[in-house]
């Protein structure tokens, strides 16, 4: 299915989680309304340039998009439909957090075409949820999940995290058992990363360094333990019929997230909203991260004044044209994140040259080390290769 994807960013949260370094913050409803108005302006502004292009998926991420009131979500979807040609089979996902959904909201979502929900659970253990600074407990999640199913959503993802402070195999096992019992269609299992600028960084940065160095840690799992947690997650989920299709994503057959796969396959996508990233016309773009500036640009455009910008869109903060080498590097390091890997024929088709001519020595070396394998015209990482994929993928970067 050829076409483009849309990513729409909602930078609002009820409360900032202690580990989170995403572009989001706590803003009141007034600000949310101003932002959504600005966002709708951007959608219609950008839509004009992409008239006739088939939108095959939309991902509304955050932040906590599900926190927006019904009318705001309605406004966003209305403006998307007015400005773009939406494929009738498009996958339309919204990120949700437990406690921010009601049956009314869910019914509205259904009526405006949203057909996939991604729920940020992170853990089924209340002590872990508290440690992470989440606003919910496990019971609250169950309630939300029940509402979601009752509203008729049949494509639901649950996010969980491994490598949490004090996390043991037993605790992880409890989380995995609890969620697989609910039979979601999709599970994303991410590792906790201690990021600069978060309260967790202040609290755990020394531990994170020790973890990385393979030394004994105080609170975070050691390197060895986090390896076991990661492996355990994979084995557990596969045993329950979830197929791993990307490093951190598992799905029942046919329920892979199409939007996400688009990222790995370098399908063109437009980033809409504050700080969102896009890939279009062989350029990586990124919107401004300053919410006041973002609103101001939209307001100017609404008034009919096009703000001056050297970049292709006044919303952009950066725009990087990809060289042929950049594109080839991306093709490899993104494509190989998929468990199925990449197709040699796709490489030839995309770049007009045999993959071996560019990456022959790297591929041979990796195959000799048992990190990569080939079958049926595909190249893919082995389990061993996925475990150390940063090391492997870095070798595909061209200068």
Partner 1 sequence: MDQSKIRNFCIVAHIDHGKSTLADRIIQMTGTLTDREMQAQVLDNMDLERERGITIKSQAVRVIYKADDGNEYIFNLIDTPGHVDFNYEVSRSLAACDGAILVVDAAQGIEAQTLANVYLALDHDLDVIPVINKVDLPSADPDRVIEEIEDVIGLEAVDAPQISAKTGLNVHDVLEAIVNKLPAPAGDPKAPLQALIFDSLYDSYRGVIVFCRIKEGTLKAGDQVKMMATGASFDVVEVGYFGAGQFIPCDELPAGMVGYMTASIKNVRDTRVGDTITHANNPAKEPLPGYKKVNPMVYCGVYPADGAKYPDLRDALEKLQLNDAALQFEPETSIALGFGFRCGFLGLLHLEIIQERLEREYNLDLVTTAPSVVYRVHKTDGTMLELTNPSNLPDPSEIDYMEEPIVEAEIMVTSEFIGAIMDLCQERRGQYISMEYMEETRALIKYTLPLNEIIYDFFDALKSRSRGYASFDYEMKGYMKSSLVKLDILINREEVDALSFIVFEGTAYERGRKMCEKLKEEIPRHLFEIPIQAAIGSKVIARETVKAMRKDVLAKCYGGDITRKKKLLEKQKEGKKRMRQVGNVEIPQSAFMSVLKLDED
Residues that bind partner 1 (CB under 8 A): 7, 59, 61, 159, 162, 188-191, 193, 214, 223-224, 226-227, 230, 247-248, 263, 269, 271, 276-279, 284, 286, 320, 329-330, 333-334, 369, 371, 386-391, 393-395, 397
Rounded least distance, CB 390 to partner 1, Å:
4
In the block, which residue shows the tokens 């095959």?
Answer: 56
Rounded least distance, CB 161 to partner 1, Å:
9
State the burial class of residue 102 (Cβ atoms within 10 Å of its Cβ: 0-12, 13-18, 19+). middle
Rounded least distance, CB 247 to partner 1, Å:
5
**Nearer to partner 1 (CB atom), residue 301 or residue 332:** 332
Rounded least distance, CB 303 to partner 1, Å:
30
Beta strands per DSSP E along 314-369: 316-321, 342-343
DSSP 3-state of 332: helix
Quote the longest CA-to-CA distance of the chain.
62
**Nearer to partner 1 (CB atom), residue 26 or residue 193:** 193
**Nearer to partner 1 (CB atom), residue 62 or residue 108:** 62
DSSP 3-state of 378: strand
**Nearer to partner 1 (CB atom), residue 151 or residue 220:** 220
Count of Cβ atoms closer than 10 Å to residue 368 Cβ = 9
Rounded least distance, CB 278 to partner 1, Å:
7
Which of these, 71, 76, 81, 156, lies nearest to 105 by C-alpha position? 71
Tokens of 284: 């990586």
Helix (H), strand (E) at residue 390: helix 389-394
**Nearer to partner 1 (CB atom), residue 129 or residue 301:** 129
CA pair distance 37, 352, nearest whole angstrom: 44
**Nearer to partner 1 (CB atom), residue 151 or residue 381:** 381
Rounded least distance, CB 320 to partner 1, Å:
7
- The pairing of beta strand 316-321 with beta strand 283-287: antiparallel
**Nearer to partner 1 (CB atom), residue 151 or residue 275:** 275
What Cα–Cα distance (Å) separates residue 76 from each residue in 69, 105, 138, 206?
11, 14, 30, 43
DSSP 3-state of 247: coil
Rounded least distance, CB 94 to partner 1, Å:
13
Specify whether the CB–CB gap between 381 and 341 falls below 8 A: yes
At 156, give phi and psi (nearest 5°): -125, 135
**Nearer to partner 1 (CB atom), residue 106 or residue 279:** 279
CA pair distance 246, 254, nearest whole angstrom: 14
Rounded least distance, CB 191 to partner 1, Å:
4
């Amino acid at each position: 299915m050829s076409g483009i994807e849309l990513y729409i960013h909602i930078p609002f949260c009820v409360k900032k989680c202690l580990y989170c370094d995403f572009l989001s913050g706590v803003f009141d409803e007034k600000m949310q309304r101003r932002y959504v108005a600005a966002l709708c302006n951007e959608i219609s502004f950008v839509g004009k340039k992409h008239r006739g292009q088939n939108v095959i998926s939309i991902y509304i991420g955050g932040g906590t998009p599900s926190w927006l009131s019904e009318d705001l979500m309605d406004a966003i979807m209305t403006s998307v439909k007015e400005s773009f040609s939406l494929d009738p089979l498009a996958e339309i996902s919204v990120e949700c957090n437990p406690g921010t959904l009601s049956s009314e909201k869910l019914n509205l979502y259904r009526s405006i075409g949203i057909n996939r929900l991604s729920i940020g659970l992170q853990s089924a253990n209340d002590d872990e949820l508290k440690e992470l600074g989440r606003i919910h407990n496990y019971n609250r999640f169950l309630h939300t999940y029940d509402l979601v199913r009752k509203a008729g959503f049949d494509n639901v993802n649950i996010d969980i995290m491994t490598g949490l402070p004090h996390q043991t195999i037993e605790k992880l096992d409890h989380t995995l058992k609890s969620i697989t019992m609910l039979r979601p269609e999709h599970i994303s299992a991410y590792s906790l990363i201690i990021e600069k600028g978060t309260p967790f960084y202040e609290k755990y940065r020394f531990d994170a360094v020790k973890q990385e160095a393979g030394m004994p840690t105080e609170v975070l799992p050691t390197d060895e333990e986090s390896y076991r947690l990661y492996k355990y997650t994979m084995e557990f989920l596969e045993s329950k019929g979830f197929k791993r299709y990307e490093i951190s994503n598992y799905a029942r057959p046919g329920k892979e997230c199409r939007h996400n796969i688009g990222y790995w396959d370098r399908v063109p996508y437009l980033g809409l909203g504050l700080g969102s990233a896009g890939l279009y016309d062989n350029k990586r773009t990124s919107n401004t991260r300053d919410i006041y500036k973002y609103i101001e640009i939209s307001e100017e455009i609404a008034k009919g004044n096009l703000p001056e910008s050297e970049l292709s869109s006044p919303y952009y903060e950066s725009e990087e044209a990809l060289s042929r080498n950049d594109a080839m590097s991306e093709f490899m390091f993104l494509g190989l994140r998929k468990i199925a890997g990449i197709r040699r024929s796709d490489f030839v088709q995309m770049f007009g040259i045999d993959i071996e001519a560019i990456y022959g020595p790297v591929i041979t070396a990796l195959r000799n080390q048992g990190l990569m394998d080939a079958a049926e015209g595909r190249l893919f990482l082995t389990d061993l290769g996925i475990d150390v994929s940063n090391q492997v993928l870095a070798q595909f970067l061209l200068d």
